[in-house]
Structure 1
Amino acid sequence: MRQISILGCGWLGLPLAKALLTNGFSVKGSTTTEDKLPVLKAYGIDPFLIALDSKSSTPTIEVFLNESKTLVINIPPQLRRKKHDSSTVNEKVFVEKIKTLIPYIEKSTIENVLFVSSTSVYGETNATITEETIAKPDTESGKQLLEGESLLRDNPHFKTTILRFGGLIGEDRNPTKSMAGKTNLENPETPINFIHQEDCIGIILKILLTNSWDEIYNGVSPFHPTRETYYTQKATELGLPLPQFDHCEPSAKKLILSSKIENVLGYSFIKTNL
């Protein structure tokens, strides 16, 4: 039985773990919440409590990685403001977590790493984006994700594939709910760059099953209506107040393509209409 370790069994990691179990894998999964350990165990996942900013996790990390050949890193930056400080946190909290993790990977049985990143590494731009586009993040989380990507890809002890997902949506997660009824929304003509949870899992499974390592993939559904069209239609379907958009300023035209997912990896998207 093939064993995989998933660092971060949250909104995406947990259903991914369940899909891997269904496909004959043995799964070790981590969480930062002690109450979630029995939940993971109930699904047949070998559970671990790991916080990369805590020294108490050190022996746990070693056991978590032991006997696995593949590690999926699925932890968001989650950069927040400091208490009593109105400025944005600049410390490289996420980067430090990756730096903490890497020596353990080097000493473990891990041969391949799949790093779940984000298309935020490309920054906001009026351009069509492919994997060949130079990443120029303009947010702190994007900058730290890109640095984390480099730290993993440049390490000679294991092979790393980077998977840059667009906006994540699912049956229980859609940004339309937070947009409903709002007015003067910007960028009505900007195309959406979303991906459904089912396709996130499908792409990861395809990478694992085909051993597609040392690659960078953009994970975005080939469905790009404008923000105004998409949010208006979704609000109507959900019975929510319609959002109102401001057409006074020109819209950004950032379009992210996932042709490599289809043409190189050979993956066919499940959710082609989000």
Structure 2
Amino acid sequence: MRQVVIAGCGDLGGALAERLMAQGWTVYGMRRDTSRLPEGVQPLTGDLLTDDCPADWPRKIDYLVYCPAAGKRDAELYRALYVDGLRRVVGWMAERRQQPRHLLQISSTGVYAQSQGEWVTENSPALADSDTARALIEAEDVALRSGIPASVVRLAGIYGPGRNRLIEQVRAGVAVPADPVQYTNRIHRDDAAGLLQHLLVQADQHELLAPCYLGVDDEPAPLHEVCSWLAEQLGTTLAAEGPGIGRTGSKRCSNALARETGWVPGYPSYREGYAAMLSEA
């Protein structure tokens, strides 16, 4: 029976945990409030911002998934959580002479600085110069130099259950200009969890994983197109002027490498994903 620790087991980690448990894996979920873990997850009460290893740390770890969520764009918090926190967890395992088979470190497509609609792959330079992006890139380096076989998974904007911000902005009549074109990239929460599950199973089957994957759907799309489609579904219209969404950057991220492994997104574009959300609502 495979044992996996999900450090930072929030919304995404919980969705991954449910998938792995359905396959018979034993899942340990680390977070400060373990009462919010899915049923069946073995709780590890701990804080990634402190040096104290959880008292009930498992004796055997086959896989580690590091996927905390900062909750806000704060450079100091990003460094403390993503860089120092990962170093702590790697250190806890080293102290116990634990050598997982693979480490998945969850990062973001925000590490890319491309902003002119360019296509981006895992081989594109990650040169975003914000303090938060630099912290993520440093965290990726910690994972890849940890001494544990590791892969970085750069996820695009996650949407899905409970992540309704764009829907509510469109419902409120936000202004989204068509020009200049602003490409956006996204992935449904369930597809993100499915990709992580798929990569873990691949590693467990002794498949050689790449050091980096982009976790995005099949169709980068102009923000104006996405919001116009949502407005049509909601029976409203976008404002001609006024407050905007405040997004920056414009790039098109490719999921070709992830698809080459056999992963297929259940929600290939924003249309399928948001349609499912609206029908559930």
TM-score relative to the length of structure 1: 0.83
- Per the alignment, residue 275 of structure 2 pairs with none
CA distance in 2, matches of 1:59, 1:193: 36
- Per the alignment, residue 154 of structure 1 pairs with 145
Query: Which residue type is aligned with residue 21 of structure 2?
Result: L
- Per the alignment, residue 84 of structure 1 pairs with none
CA apart distance, 1:137: 1.9
Distance 1:227 1:188, change over 3 A: farther
Match for 2:156 among 152, 158, 166?
166
Match for 2:60 among 58, 61, 67?
67
- Per the alignment, residue 119 of structure 1 pairs with 109
Distance 1:39 1:254, change over 3 A: closer
CA contact (8 A) 2:44 2:54 kept: no
- Per the alignment, residue 54 of structure 1 pairs with 50
CA apart distance, 1:187: 6.1
Alignment of 1:171-250 (within 5 A): 171-180=161-170, 181-183=173-175, 189-211=181-203, 212-239=208-235, 242-244=238-240
RMSD across aligned positions (CA)? 2.5
CA distance in 1, matches of 2:264, 2:35: 35
CA contact (8 A) 1:176 1:235 kept: no
Gaps of 5+ in 2: 243-247, 271-281
Matched, 1:261 2:258: yes
Equivalent residues, number: 255
CA distance in 1, matches of 2:136, 2:152: 10
Query: Which residue type is aligned with residue 201 of structure 2?
Result: L
Distance 1:202 1:176, change over 3 A: same
Match for 1:38 among 23, 28, 35?
35
CA distance in 2, matches of 1:243, 1:65: 53
CA distance in 1, matches of 2:217, 2:104: 20
CA contact (8 A) 1:116 1:162 kept: yes
Query: Which residue type is aligned with residue 31 of structure 2?
Result: T
CA apart distance, 1:170: 0.7
Gaps of 5+ in 1: 82-87
Matched, 1:140 2:131: yes
Query: Which residue type is aligned with residue 53 of structure 2?
Result: T
Distance 1:240 1:147, change over 3 A: farther
CA distance in 2, matches of 1:54, 1:214: 31
- Per the alignment, residue 276 of structure 2 pairs with none
Distance 1:259 1:54, change over 3 A: same
129-138 or 232-241, larger mean C-alpha shift? 232-241
Identity across matched positions, percent: 23
Query: Which residue type is aligned with residue 184 of structure 2?
Result: I
- Per the alignment, residue 17 of structure 2 pairs with 17
CA apart distance, 1:125: 2.5
TM-score relative to the length of structure 2: 0.81
CA distance in 2, matches of 1:67, 1:24: 16
Match for 2:69 among 76, 80, 95?
76
